[in-house]
Amino acid sequence: MFFKERTFGLFGQEQSRRCVSAFLLRSERGSSTPRALSPTGHALVAACLGMISALGILNNLLVLVLFGRYKALRSPINMLLLNISVSDLLVCALATPFSFAASARGRWLIGEQGCVWYGFANSLLGIVSLISLAVLSYERYSTMMGPTEADATNYRKVAMGVLLSWVYSLFWTLPPFFGWSRYGPEGPGTTCSVDWTAKTANNISYIICLFIFCLILPFLAIVYSYGKLLHAIKQVSGVNTAMGRKREHRVLLMVITMVVCYLLCWLPYGIMALMATFGDPDLITAEASIVPSLLAKTSTVINPIIYIFMNKQLLFRLLTNQDIMTSEEIFFVSVYSDTIEAIALPNFHVMGNPPIFPKFLHKCH
């Protein structure tokens, strides 16, 4: 019903186009707007974006190099990590440089169509990364808690997860091209995204759906999956008290780090979007509108650090036994990571095939 309100008709599309064009024209002429940043503010934002882009490219490129160099790393579960790194790398290499250049010059530089496609690309790749994190958490949970032995050579299930992340993201980022909301300038006019400010049923309904299905739902999946794993680990560590408690705390710290970083990067952006949609237009200042956007972009730097470089077992084996790592060992490390250490079984390092968690529970009891 709300599709009829503004943008499906030719008049609605023309009106939307003129709104974007007028905003960009004001930006190009350097006229002040209620959300204009000072030259110093633009310079600081440009410096942050330049650093995020450089570090994001470096971190994610290093991940791709590791996957390319070590064949054993290319296990099924690690394809999800690879998918996250690819999407984050594309953001840093193909999208962030445009907002960096715009901030350095104090205005948007690549026109109306460039703004639309920038907003689409950023949204698409950001949601791919979020859904991949959720699928990764659930895959770890289902693999460890499953009743059957994990197959280290079966890529079909994970390939479906990777495909799901892209199809799901396209499902939610293509509608603005067909009239459900639109892409346009954001904040001080040096970046573009979904139109958070239009007070129409058409736009509001899209933003609510985006918030629920692309931010809250992945977060709940992550919390549920890792929460269930922690609960199971607590049961086992009660049996192996000596080392179990210490390693349980390490796992807890790792899970808390994942959840907190997710919230730190994405929750402020979601809150800002809802405030812009439902609040007073003058409530959000230029500085308040750009900070959440910067935090969301830092996820491209943080993800490889948390999910790759904080894996102590993986790094240790790469640095010490690079040539003798088998695919089973890599699968074991990548799926269970520090989580499995909480079990503290004496034969942990010599198991040939990755065991299933319920079997551990049965043995311990």
- Where do runs of H (alpha helix) occur along 146-200? 156-173
357-to-35, 66, 190, 198, 360 alpha-carbon distances in Å: 53, 28, 49, 50, 5
Quick one: average pLDDT of 95-112?
A: 94
Name the least confident of 28-42, 86-100, 221-235. 28-42
Q: How far apart are CA 270 and CA 273, in angstroms?
A: 5
Quick one: average pLDDT of 270-281?
A: 87
Q: Tell me the DSSP string of 260-326.
A: HHHHHHHHHHHHHHHHHHHS-TTSS-HHHHHHHHHHHHTHHHHHHIIIIIT-HHHHHHHHHSGGG--
Longest dimension (CA), the chain: 73
pLDDT (0 to 100) of residue 148:
55
**Looking at the whole model, is its pTM more than 0.85?**
no
Residues 106-141: tens digit of each pLDDT: 999 999 999 999 999 999 999 999 999 999 888 888
pLDDT (0 to 100) of residue 103:
94
Nearest of 211, 190, 179, 189 to residue 277 by alpha carbon: 211
More confident residue, 56 or 227: 56
pLDDT (0 to 100) of residue 227:
86
Contact in structure between 188 and 289 (CB atoms under 8 Å): yes
Residues 342-357: tens digit of each pLDDT: 333 333 332 333 444 4
Quick one: average pLDDT of 276-305?
A: 88
More confident residue, 99 or 363: 99
User: Percentage of the chain surpassing pLDDT 70?
Assistant: 70
* Structure-token pair, residue 83: 């998918």
Quick one: average pLDDT of 293-313?
A: 84
pLDDT (0 to 100) of residue 155:
84
Q: Taking the domains of the chain in order of start, what are their residue ranges?
A: 2-364
Beta-carbon contacts of 322 under 8 Å, excluding residues fewer than 6 positions away, are: 70
pLDDT (0 to 100) of residue 230:
80
Residues 5-30: tens digit of each pLDDT: 333 333 344 444 544 454 444 444 33
**Fold of the domain spanning 2-364:** Rhopdopsin 7-helix transmembrane proteins (1.20.1070)
